[in-house]
């Protein structure tokens, strides 16, 4: 049997970002459904969610993995705020929460306009400290992910919501992102990317100085559920066979082949040149030649 190469270049530009000898390494296995990776630089560790396993895991190079939080409320997307605190999209707890340095969990958002939010999916923090997340409607009943909270769905459409630290208010960012899933800002925060996983597209919204968005053009097609960007505006997203690498215009440059149905990505390690990828029961990493946008 012929081995599947770890990477596939479709243009010469791809090799400037992902070397030909780059290797996909599995660093954890045996989970139920991995998601939401985030690198915590001050601890030199990766965190990720096992949604169905109701656990947030922690991995350190040379130290292996350990349980970080259980139960987790079947948390999904994870990120860090500007103070380095963990912020989570609490899928089945139907809330967005933050972990304080002493380990306390603080609830930030549970309702929008007096109505309970849906199932927070992926999450990102803007430089002004405001938190954006994709909020779905059907996940509360998804087998293995189902919630013990209120099962009632109060809103038909998936939306992007925002929590502002100055007012503690939740506002609508857009309801024009389809079955919104992954979410990421461009390196300069001028564009908000949102994955419509049902349509297999990424939508790109222009971001104003106050954090509001306009537009919603299709940036790329035949993509997957999550997106991250590097410092040069290139887009790394989940997709068929693993991770698709696109330039700032949406042109597909090449692919990183991952032996799992990929769900999410994160940049990490000391130089932010390691791409961590979650997928199915596993977590993977690959060293690349470009530098990701640091988190936290």
| Count of other CB atoms within 10 angstroms of residue 141 | 12
Strands 86-90 and 78-80: antiparallel
- Distance (Å, whole) CA 73 – CA 146: 10
Backbone angles phi, psi at 140, to 5 degrees: -60, -25
Give me the domains of the chain, ranges plus CATH numbers.
7-287 (2.120.10.30)
Query: Could you read off the pLDDT tens digit of each residue along the chain, which spans 296 residues?
Result: 345 579 999 999 999 999 999 999 999 999 999 999 999 999 999 999 999 999 999 999 999 999 999 999 999 999 999 999 999 999 888 999 999 999 999 999 999 999 999 999 999 999 999 999 999 876 666 667 766 666 677 788 899 999 999 999 999 999 999 999 999 999 999 999 999 999 999 999 999 999 999 999 999 999 999 999 999 999 999 999 899 999 999 999 999 999 999 999 999 999 999 999 999 999 999 999 999 999 99
* Alpha-carbon separation of residue 24 from 12, 223, 259, 285, 289 (angstroms): 20, 20, 9, 6, 14
**Amino acid 110: pLDDT:** 95
Q: What does the radius of gyration of the chain's CA atoms come to, in whole angstroms?
A: 18
């Amino acid at each position: 049997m012929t081995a599947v190469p770890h990477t596939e270049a479709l243009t010469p530009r791809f090799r400037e970002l992902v070397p030909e000898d780059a290797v996909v390494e599995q660093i954890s296995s045996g989970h139920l459904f991995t998601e939401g990776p985030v690198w915590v630089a001050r601890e030199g560790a990766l965190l990720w969610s096992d949604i169905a396993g109701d656990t947030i895991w922690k991995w350190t190079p040379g130290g292996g993995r350990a349980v970080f939080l259980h139960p987790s409320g079947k948390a999904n997307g994870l990120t860090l705020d500007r103070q380095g605190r963990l912020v989570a999209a609490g899928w089945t707890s139907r809330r967005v929460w933050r972990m304080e340095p002493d380990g306390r969990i603080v609830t930030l958002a549970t309702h929008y306009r007096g109505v309970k939010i849906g199932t927070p999916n992926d999450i990102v923090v803007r430089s002004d400290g405001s938190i954006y997340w994709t909020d779905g409607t059907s996940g509360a009943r998804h087998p293995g992910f189902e919630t013990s909270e209120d099962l009632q769905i109060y809103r038909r459409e998936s939306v992007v919501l925002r929590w502002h630290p100055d007012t503690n208010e939740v506002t609508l960012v857009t309801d024009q992102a389809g079955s919104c899933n992954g979410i990421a800002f461009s390196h300069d925060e001028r564009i908000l990317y949102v994955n419509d996983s049902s349509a297999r597209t990424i939508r790109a919204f222009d971001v104003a100085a106050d954090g509001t968005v306009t537009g919603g053009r299709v940036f790329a097609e035949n993509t997957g559920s999550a997106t991250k960007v590097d410092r040069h505006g290139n887009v790394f997203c989940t997709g068929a066979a693993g991770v698709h690498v696109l330039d700032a215009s949406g042109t597909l440059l090449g692919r990183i082949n991952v032996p799992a149905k990929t769900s999410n990505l994160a940049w990490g390690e000391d130089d932010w040149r390691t791409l961590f990828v979650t997928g199915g029961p596993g977590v993977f990493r690959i060293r690349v030649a470009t530098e990701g946008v640091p988190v936290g």
